[in-house]
Chain A
Amino acid sequence: MAEERRQKQCSVTLPTESMKAMAESVGVGQLQEESCVALSEEVSYRIKEIAQDALKFMHHGKRRKLTTSDIDNALKLKNVEPLYGFQSQEFIPFRFASGGGRELHFYEEKEVDLSDIINTPLPRVPLDVSLKAHWLSIEGVQPSIPENPPPATKEQQKTESTEPLKVVKPGQEEEGAIQGKGQGATAPDGKGKEKGSIRLKPRSTHELSVEQQLYYKEITEACVGSCEAKRAEALQSIATDPGLYQMLPRFSTFISEGVRVNVVQNNLALLIYLMRMVKALMDNPTLYLEKYLHELIPAVVTCIVSKQLCLRPDVDNHWALRDFAARLMAQCCKTFSTTTNNIQINTFFFFFRLSSWLDEKTQWTARYGCIAGLAELGPDVIKTLILPRLTVEGSRIKAVMEGSVVSNIDKIGAEHVQSLLLKHCASVIAKIRPQPDTVEQYRTDYGYLGPMLCSHVIKARTQAALQAQQVNRTTLTITQPRPTLSVSQSGLSGSGGPRTPSIIKVPSSLTLMSPRPGTPSQPSPPATKYIVMATSAGTASTQQVITLSSSQSASPVTSTVPSATSTLQPLVKVESGSGPGLAASRPLQKYIVVSLPPSASSSLEPKSSVLSTSVSSTPLDPGIKLERSESPGVSTQSPH
């Protein structure tokens, strides 16, 4: 490896074409080939020299990343005037373009209207340097506080649970690499490593320190206690604290035992609290729960399908618990399903078997839970499992609703099942069933539930269409020959001059990836559409995207269109068919960029067209800009 690299280093020089291009740019035409070669060799050598000096500055600056200032300093060493204007830490302003068989990196300079800059409110002042102290170690033991890294990283927990023989202590993983690099002699190194691993004991017991025991006691009490504020804090702590790894087995036992007892006692409130604990545990980014799923999943499933979860099933809202637990289950499947444990498939079959056993005698509660559990697993499951059963379920519901000797409880149960079915099925049907929707057709296909489904589907369709319209308006047709969009910081180019169509700038550091290059300025069907939409920061992005494609609720889109107008104005013209919901732009925004392949958005297809870009002179909201550059939630997604 090293040899190959070295040889490469030896031979790398700048291409002579660059020399020519540079010569042309300073007005020297017709450079001789020989002088090009000589120049490129000389220049490459000097650049390498400077790079080496710059490296020195990086090391002394105690950084891992080479910055432009290092280069400047290296130039200064050589008594060369540094390049001014490249001070930014992150952003390297070169653009890439190719065409006519040439590849070029160039620096894009735009005309900037001074008045725009003057009118822009000042950005927030960066925070001053401050000093914070914490205990890295107390008498040789590292305390599990948020300031310290978790005692065992998620990856470690994962390897530990999946490959228990390959347990490594933190900080030792990469040992071999550096030793090999730092030393010619390999034999002693290998020995040392072995020694290290032999000394390791498998982490079998989870001893808790006194503090941890106190913490555990406090947290569990708060979680199931009566004070809601305390509970919120406790759940927050579970969801964020890094040092809970040690306590995980105890938490999982606590939850599973708690569910077991409280199901028997029909204590709905406690069950809800326990499910919230599960949720918090799953939300904690430092925990790897797989080892404890054997305890957690039964508890969750119990809360989904148990016949009775509360003392007064007619009054208490145990349905919400079932929904919540079903969602947890679905999340569980998504996160932890691997080929070895097959959680997803097992869950699937569990619900499936359960649902196939369901008969007249089954409680509506269990039926509800079963359907909810299946429905949360995704549209594919709904399509294959629930839709065929709609007729049967419909008749059962009909029997209850229209029957005479029915208890109140059954009736409520039937109603809930009905609305659940309608909610989940409508969107799926809307997608798979061709228009038109006639009530009769639906009745024959789906029995009792048919007519109601029909109306739901129509509703869903109209919403989707509405959404599609909105979406279509915000569609960018990107005239970009490359699949990657370089996105730069400057969103200020509002001068209205003719813009080069080759590069689209979005004022953020996103990189948009499209599976296929879009063709410029042509409404060809395979062109990928980018839908840039702003959603409020609080809501989960995934959900929004799915709702969008399933065209159920148009609310997030309608409400955020105007903000898109104001922030993306240089690039996207949003001809806002302004609905009444167009509120003022929100200060906190995330941008979700969805790329929709044509197959997924059949409804959008006929309308896809080019947008004329026009520019409004609304100044950029700095709040939005800041948020975006910091926000880790900026995501690029492509639902299939």
Chain B
Amino acid sequence: MSIKVYLKKKKDNPPPLRNRTSRPGGGRASHTHTCHSENQSDLLILRSQFFSFFNLAHAQFILKMAAVQGGMVDEKEEVDIKTEPQSDGLMNTNATDGRQLSPSPSSSSSAGSSKSAAGAPEDQQTLLAVLQFLRKNKLTESVEILRREAGLPEDALDTKGADCSAPSSGGTAGGVDGLDAGSLLSRVAVSSSAGTPAPTKAVADDQPDVSVVLSAYSQQGDPALYKVYYSDLKKFIESVLDCHRAELSQVFYPLFVHMYLELVYNNHESEAKAFFEKFSGDQECYYEDDLRVLSSLTKKEHMRGNETLLDFRTSKFVLRISRDSYQLLKRHLQERQNNQIWNIIQEHLYIDIFDGMPRSKSQIDAMSGSLAGEAKREANKAKVYYGLLKEPEIEVPLDDEDEEAENEEGKPKKKKPKKDSMGSKSKKQDPNAPLQNRIPLPELKDSDKLDKIMYMKESTKRIRLGRENLPSICFYTFLNAYQGLTAVDFTDDSSLIAGGFADSTVRVWSVTPKKLRKVKSAADLNLIDKESDDVLERIMDEKTASESKILYGHSGPVYGISFSPDRNYLLSCSEDGTVRLWSLLTFTCLVGYKGHNYPVWDTQFSPYGYYFVSGGHDRVARLWATDHYQPLRIFAGHLADVTCTRFHPNSNYVVTGSSDRTIRLWDVLTGNCVRIFTGHKGPIHTLAFSPNGKFLASGATDGRVLLWDIGHGLMVSELKGHTDTVYALRFSRDGELLASGSMDNTVRLWDAAKAFDDLETDDFTAATGHIHLQDNSQELLLGTYMSKSTPVVHLHFTRRNLLLAAGSYAA
């Protein structure tokens, strides 16, 4: 395969690495690593990109590369599997992906040059840059191989090397001409992350260049006129036709913010204050939190290092406005020669113009509220394979003992559903499902198979829930926790419960009569008969049996906790910046994953195990594999803390919720953001996928629960009722009901099936993303259950659809 192909594909498929380089504002000072500081993981990604797109991947090559990486042999398998689907499946994704349409300055320059100088020399240059990069990282063998593959003369690199001697460490912005690794990387990062309309400054430096970012504010008009401009615009918008007013009113908030910041930047403190006082009251109430931050910011010096501010600057505020309304606004501003406002709109706002009817106030309100405006329409166009993976076919042994236990009536009943559940899943491949091996998944072990069998058996006894058939709720109250309970998780089979506490401990309880036992010590293990049938029993040390175990290791409050599907591991993440993997056989810490240097707010295991995702205060979510000490993917794009992370049931996607009041869905394979959902008015604290993978529920501090259709990228419903932060959401096993738990001490049950049935997915709605929400929260609310004084922190449906809730009693 020619190198041209490689390059093209390379451009189409930006590696996750791009994320890091493309967001100057998102990364934080001390841990926005340069390419080199993390070169190993970068290379890992880079390498897998090579392989998957190059298709040069013959075994020897891979093996050698893997050897170079040392100890990461697993990756080889992953890569092997990956190469296959890449050629067709991935290309499709990119064909429908409109992200190339939003080129960033840096990438456009480099991409443009590559186009002009199309042909061999350009390709060769790029390749040289790759080689240079590899060499700099002392991967001589890979260099050798690649060079041989490309058929380059040995001295080519050396001659070029002189040119490229300037190291790329400082984050080569778009202006760098020299062809070094950095510029290659920035070229690779052609398409900026879907949701980040930020200009790609490729500042991978330690310090996001605040002065560069802020300098946009240096242009200034007469500070006294700001008020006049603003109120003039206000008057105009208030006087336009009703149908346009709601749309144009969206402009107020971003304009207000930017004008205020301009005033502050140019040291007009008193004017800024007066401006703020005069107009802050007009803003929508859901921006109150941001306004509070702004209000405290009155000096130019404060702007440095203020994150909220950087968000406003680095990311354009996205508005969706119909063409008519936009024309109206444009005409007005031009007539009035109101350049100040026009400049701000040009520079800091991204106006997503659509043709058709202007949206109504309620439509706009439903979608607005996020830190950086709505999602752009094209951001939600990518295809998402939301279907479930085919269940592996497992022969269910018709074990006699179980059937004997059942009475005669039970027999026929039991067999039927078993066949159904097996048949429906295994026969047809869901057209919306990703390929089985789209991402490599761990192989099933015998114990997993046993567990699957158990699961199927249990699911036959499952109660069908619905409007008439509400579940029972068992509430687990943590007593004497003194408000220290910060996270809870149940195992899927509901046999164990774990709690993370503010005192840095993790505690695991057994909810069944089966006690928790440790494995015997190595010396004792030597003594047991390894051939015996009950070897798994024998390795356990009876002396250590107890109902609960405490895991010590963190040095800060534990904010997230997750059991592995096979119940052998437990993940916990903490304020101390680490994610820890604990063994539930030895009850010791196995690994501490360091990467987030700031508090990690949430973590979760993939439904298939092996992978896990974490998200934290550093605004990125990371995908890890348990046997790699560094992340496989970094999902960057959120403008504020990533507060919660969830895996899609098919493990191909990860969803993250953030304090910037958006929800993003990320493709695990490519690292791209494929969905952005806006509409929440407060930081999102919990997320839940429906069991069929089609829908998503999210809960936030505003007390509302929103339901989303992943395939169409639309809001489906809004469930109002909670009066405080929603901390827990869970769909029943059959997806009929949604349970939500909140700080207001209630568990509420919602008719999810009805909400999804009511969904109108006509082409128009799907195309424009304009939704009409009915206010039917009261109809969908099936039950409200108050606890005495226990905020609900976690919810879980057992395999038989009994709802378990957990929280700590707040006296």
Binding site for B on A (CB under 8 A): 2-3, 6-7, 9-11, 41-42, 44-45, 48-49, 52, 56-57, 59-65, 69, 73, 76-77, 89, 126-140, 142, 147-149, 169-172, 174-175, 177-179, 181-185, 188-189, 191-192, 195-196, 199
Contacts and interface: CB of A to CB of B under 8 A. Distances in A.
B666 interface: no
B384 interface: no
A492 B125 CA distance: 79
B746 A171 contact: yes
Contact of A10 (B295, B701, B784): B295
A49 B307 CA distance: 10
A131 B477 contact: yes
A185 B362 contact: yes
Nearest to A8: B295
Nearest to B809: A132
Contacts of A61: 483, 486, 502, 557, 559
A73 B600 CA distance: 13
B576 to A, nearest CB: 9
B491 interface: no
B354 interface: no
B575 A73 contact: yes
A149 B744 CA distance: 13
B475 A136 contact: yes
A63 B483 contact: yes
Nearest to B505: A129
Interface residues of B, number: 95
B42 interface: no
Given A69-B502, A137-B785, A192-B720, A60 B292 contact: no
B486 A171 contact: no
B285 A184 contact: yes
B472 A135 contact: yes
Nearest to B640: A56
A586 B291 CA distance: 57
Interface string B725-765: 10100000000000000011011010000000000000000
B480 interface: yes
Contacts of A60: 486, 557, 559, 599, 601, 643
B788 A171 contact: no
Contacts of B703: 178, 182
B146 to A, nearest CB: 42
Contacts of A56: 617, 641, 659
B636 interface: no
21 contacts: A2-B288, A7-B277, A10-B295, A41-B299, A49-B296, A56-B617, A59-B683, A61-B486, A64-B743, A64-B810, A130-B479, A132-B477, A132-B479, A133-B474, A135-B474, A136-B474, A137-B473, A140-B783, A149-B788, A175-B721, A184-B361
Nearest to B509: A131
Given A3-B280, A45-B302, A62-B485, A171 B786 contact: yes
Interface in B296-312: 296-299, 301-302, 306
Nearest to A182: B702
B556 interface: yes
Interface of B: 273, 276-277, 280-281, 284-286, 288, 291-293, 295-299, 301-302, 306, 361-362, 365, 469-486, 497, 499, 501-502, 507, 509, 511, 548, 556-557, 559, 575, 598-599, 601, 617, 641, 643, 659, 681-683, 685, 701-704, 720-725, 727, 743-744, 746-747, 749, 775, 777-778, 782-788, 791, 793, 803, 805, 810
Contacts of B469: 139-140
Contact of A134 (B474, B507, B775, B784): B474
Contacts of A62: 485-486, 727, 743, 791, 793
Given A60-B643, A62-B743, A138-B472, A10 B276 contact: yes
A410 B747 CA distance: 65
B481 A179 contact: no
Contacts of A178: 702-703, 720, 722-724
Nearest to A193: B778
A128 B701 CA distance: 30
A58 B543 CA distance: 39
Contacts of A191: 775
Contacts of A6: 280-281, 288, 291-292, 295
Given A62-B485, A62-B793, A196-B778, A142 B477 contact: no
B187 to A, nearest CB: 35
A633 to B, nearest CB: 16
A192 B277 CA distance: 34
Contacts of A128: 480
Contacts of B501: 129
A184 B286 contact: yes
Contacts of B685: 59
B478 A129 contact: yes
A126 B482 CA distance: 10
Contact of B470 (A140, A184, A199): A140
Given A136-B473, A137-B473, A178-B723, A126 B599 contact: no
A148 B786 contact: yes
A89 B285 CA distance: 32
Contact of B365 (A3, A69, A136, A183): A183
A195 B721 CA distance: 13
Given A45-B297, A59-B683, A137 B783 contact: yes
A63 B298 CA distance: 31
Contacts of B617: 56, 77
Contacts of A137: 470-473, 747, 783, 785, 803
Contacts of B784: 169-172
Contacts of B295: 6, 9-10
A197 B475 CA distance: 29
Given A56-B659, A131-B509, A175-B723, A149 B299 contact: no
Contacts of A133: 474-477, 511
Contacts of B791: 62
Contact of A131 (B276, B497, B502, B727): B497
Contact of B296 (A45, A130, A188): A45
Query: Closest 5 interchain pairs by CB?
Result: A140-B470, A3-B281, A136-B473, A136-B475, A137-B473
Nearest to A69: B502
Nearest to A135: B474
Contact of A148 (B288, B299, B788): B788
A171 B292 CA distance: 30
A47 to B, nearest CB: 9
A147 B745 CA distance: 13
Contacts of B481: 129
Nearest to B683: A59
A217 B810 CA distance: 35
B488 to A, nearest CB: 10
Contacts of A64: 743, 810
A177 B502 contact: no
B313 to A, nearest CB: 17
A127 B480 contact: yes
Nearest to B685: A59
Contacts of B509: 131
A196 B720 CA distance: 12
A192 B775 contact: yes
Most buried by B among A10, A77, A199: A10
Nearest to A133: B476
Contacts of A179: 720
A389 B788 CA distance: 52
A77 B617 CA distance: 9
Nearest to A132: B477
B479 A131 contact: yes
Nearest to B296: A48
A61 B481 CA distance: 12
B723 A136 contact: no
A127 B560 CA distance: 24
